[in-house]
Structure 1
Amino acid sequence: MMVVTITTEEFGKTKDGENVHRFIFEGSKVRVSVLDFGCAIQSVEVPDRAGTLVDIALGYDDVAGYEKNTPYIGVVVGRVAGRIAGGKFSMDGQDYSLVVNNRPNNIHGGLVGFSRRLWTPFVNDNRLTLTYRSPEGEDGFPGDMDVTLTYTLDEDGLLTLDYLATTTKPCPLNFTNHSYFNLAGQDCDDVLDHVVQISAEKFVPVDHNLIPTGELPDVDGRSQDLRFPVELRSIKDAVCNGDLDLTFCVGEDGMMKRVSKVVHPATGRYIETSTTEPGLQFYTAMFMSNTVGKSGKSYKPFASFCLETQHFPDSVNHPNFPNTILRPGETYKQSTVYTFGVEKE
């Protein structure tokens, strides 16, 4: 049995001259590269039925791409993933205002967030642990927050993301990884021939500003019902005005459960998602524009999909949504597992 190894190499420097490193997980079935800048998943190489490895994760060839990275390709986002309405929330009788970086809302933590920070790495066997201290007032959030993310790859193709966080003051949080995938290869033009299944009986509808209405309706009888495998081509024009950007309610917060599977029938490649989070944001890059990625590939809408395990957007402003407030003395924990594999014909 092959043991997963991790090798380290220099990836480049930030505009401030900081060294960025790439950590390459080498397994018997999958090869994954992770950066210490933004905890970015820079590549995921998975074989097809013939055993040919192809990179299925969108990304960039240099640090400059990740420093700009307006689509948040591959990175971890926080303190709060998703949108906060108007960039405002109230907590314990105090009002807070955040930067509006996705008018008229705050999105993915603000102008910098976790995704444009250099994290501190530590390698142990088949695990890469990255840590970051987010200081009081960063991006407008209260308290010092210490965050740890551990990536683990096993020989069966399971990539596990374990998050931990503590805070010195009450603060909302909602972490996720924002990788974009195309199981035919990151340089392919669309994912319309992919087949998706999401185990959710409810979803989170949004208004014209992409803020949740507060309702959590059943998917039954709607085009948002993805409980059984469906080809994306067949629902492209039926859901969300021709694209998918939806949070699905996938189960109890804190309980690990299998929530989705996406398959590319032509190659057999698939990705399964399991998570302890209550939500799964399924997104097919509707806002991708003028983004040039690896090997000069121009990434466009519907050329990839995201499987963002997280809490519901704007939860801090919706008391009926699962709690996202972390308080001093508590430890936030989240685990997500992406399983990469190949189906037989």
Structure 2
Amino acid sequence: MRWMIALLMLTGIGMLPSMHAADAPAITVSQAPFGKLPDGHEVTLYTLKSPTMVVKIMDYGALVTELHTPDSKGKLGDVVLGFDNLEGYLKGHPYFGATIGRVANRVGNATFQLNGKTYKLAANNGKHSLHGGEKGFDKVLWKGTMSQANGNASVKFTYLSKDGEEGYPGNLQVAVTYTLTAKNELQIDYVATTDQDTPVNLTHHSYFNLAGHASGNVLKQAIRIDADQYTPGDETLVPTGKLAPVKETPLDLTSATPIGKNIGQLTGEPGGYDHNYVLRRTDKKLAEVAEVTDPESGRVLKVLTTEPGLQFYTGNFLDGTVKGKGGAVYAKHQAFCLEPQHYPDSINQPTFPSIVLKPGKTYEQTTVYAFSAK
């Protein structure tokens, strides 16, 4: 009997290996070097991995570089635009996969007033400030911490945006946590606190293509956004402060509609969707607000958020000059962005929901990108 037990242990048959398998987490998190910044600081790439999904995120920009999810046949494919190495991101890019802040979207005339004081920001988008300025949260090095709990795996990124950074008041402590769940969800939780009144509007800026990042345009992919209104803007995409109905316009996406069906009706350069949708919601609870389906791969993306707005952008400024992963050429309309956030230029629009964070209060929001296939 003793020799049989010994044989079972040596050959790996029996209870001990099965106990190890049971103890092994279904979702893992790991890290590896991803190059160095010009100042010598090392950049780390974190990998969240489940049996059905892989997400890679680096601490420079708290930025998603890869997101692999299965199609209807179970084949994994990378569905976000990006680069193979750090150098690609350092050369400049249109916010691929990045965490955006301190204030996402546009601040009109790169100026705002708060508590009787005028603040001047960097004008990095014509005369306006865009996505946090010249060196927004997408261009800083965050501190990453890995964790595993409740069958999920996470990376928490933290950053202190000091008083006066990019013209904004107050020391802002920010935490962004990416969690991969067993439900094929990438959940992003944001938390921020400040020691002075300051505007805060954070979001995520992945460029999605459900057929695969190198598969061509997304015009056949169908989108639904649960919004009856949007915030119209001027020719520079800064809101007028009014809300307008989407009904009987090319912006009506209240039922599943191929992205390319009405995109030609959107006039102005460079053409395409780049609009903030006013979501149907009466509270700040996490709720589904949008869905995109790719008829070829069968992949489905659902977006859930606690935010009041959703910016829908169709890669209008991609022009074929950007070469991404594997040498892929990213052309116009090769991807879409779904960015949950407060409305653009809210700090200058008194009728919009406020984005001012005060000392003693906590900024909190959650976004979930849920993937499936049919």
1:248 alignment partner, one of 277, 286, 301: 277
Aligned residue in 2 for 1:317: 348
1:200 matched to 2:227: yes
Query: Using the alignment, how far apart are the partners of 2:341 and 2:198 within structure 1?
Result: 16
Please report the RMSD computed on the Cα atoms of aligned residues, expressed in angstroms. 1.3
Please name the residue that 1:296 is paired with.
327
Find the counterpart in structure 1 of residue 197 from structure 2.
170
Post-superposition shift, 1:69?
A: 3.1
* Partner Cα separation in structure 1 for residue 118 and residue 312 of structure 2: 31
Task: Provide closer, same or farther for how the CA distance between residues 133 and 248 of structure 1 changes in structure 2, counting only shifts above 3 A.
Answer: same
Q: Is the deviation greater in 3-12 or in 271-280?
A: 3-12
Larger radius of gyration between Structure 1 and Structure 2: 2
1:7 and 2:34 matched: no
Higher deviation after alignment, 10-19 or 125-134? 10-19
Q: 2:297 maps to what in 1?
A: 267
State whether structure 2 residue 253 is matched by structure 1 residue 230: no
Q: Does 1:283 align with 2:310?
A: no
Gaps of 5+ in 2: 1-21
CA–CA separation in structure 1 for the residues paired with 2:181 and 2:99: 21
> How far does residue 66 in structure 1 lie from its aligned partner after superposition?
1.9
Alpha-carbon deviation of 1:253? 5.7
Q: 1:332 & 1:100 partners in 2: Cα distance?
A: 25
Letter aligned with residue 83 of structure 1: R
| C-alpha distance in structure 2 between counterparts of 1:93 and 1:240, whole Å | 38
Corresponding letter in the other structure for 1:272: K
Shift of 1:240: 4.8
Q: Show CA shifts across 1:35-71 (max 9, x none).
A: 1110101111011111111100101111122223330
Superposed counterparts of 1:126-141, under 5 Å: 126-141=153-168
| Residue 241 (structure 2) aligned to one of 214, 222, 226 | 214
Does the 8 Å contact 2:250/2:263 carry over to 1?
no
1:203-231 C-alpha deviation (Å, 9 max, x unpaired):
11110111001111121222211010011
**Paired AA for residue 333 in structure 1:** E
- Whole-angstrom CA distance in 2 between matches of 1:44 and 1:196: 20
Q: Is 1:60 aligned with 2:83? A: yes
Task: Note the alpha carbon deviations across 1:71-129, whole angstroms, 9 max, x for none.
Answer: 01101010000010110000111111001011110000111110011100111111110
CA distance in 2, matches of 1:127, 1:47: 20
Mapped partners of 1:245, 1:205: distance in 2? 10
Greater displacement, 306-315 / 46-55: 46-55
TM-score normalised by the chain length of structure 1 = 0.97
In the TM superposition, residue 288 of structure 1 has moved relative to its aligned partner by 2.1
Instruction: Please tell me whether residue 124 in structure 1 is matched to residue 150 in structure 2.
Output: no
When structure 1 is superposed on structure 2, of 169-178 and 68-77 the one drifting more is 68-77
Count of aligned residue pairs for this structure pair = 343
- After TM superposition, give the deviation of residue 270 of structure 1 in Å: 1.1
SS of equivalent residue, structure 1 residue 180: coil
- Give distance in 1, aligned partners of 2:262 and 2:240: 23
* Residue 104 of structure 2 is aligned to residue 81 of structure 1: yes
Match of 1:102 in 2: 125
Q: For 1:55 and 1:132, how far apart are their aligned partners in 2? A: 28
List gaps (5 residues or longer) in structure 1. none
Does the 8 Å CA contact 1:169/1:327 hold for their aligned counterparts? yes
Matching residue of 2:8? none
Instruction: Return the match for 1:186 from 213, 223, 226.
Output: 213
- 1:252, CA displacement in angstroms? 4.0
Structure 2 distance, partners of 1:70, 1:31, is 23
SS at match of 1:201: strand
Match of 2:372 in 1: 341
On the 8 A contact 1:253/1:322 being kept in 2, the answer is no
Please say if 1:36 is aligned against 2:59. Answer: yes
- Equivalent pair of 2:318/2:334 in contact (CA under 8 Å): no
Q: Match for residue 257 of structure 1?
A: 287
Amino acid at match of 2:349: H
Hey, what does 1:155 align to over in structure 2? 182
Q: Could you list the per-position Cα deviations for residues 116-146 of structure 1 after superposition, in whole angstroms to 9, with x for gaps in the alignment?
A: 1110011111111010000111101001100
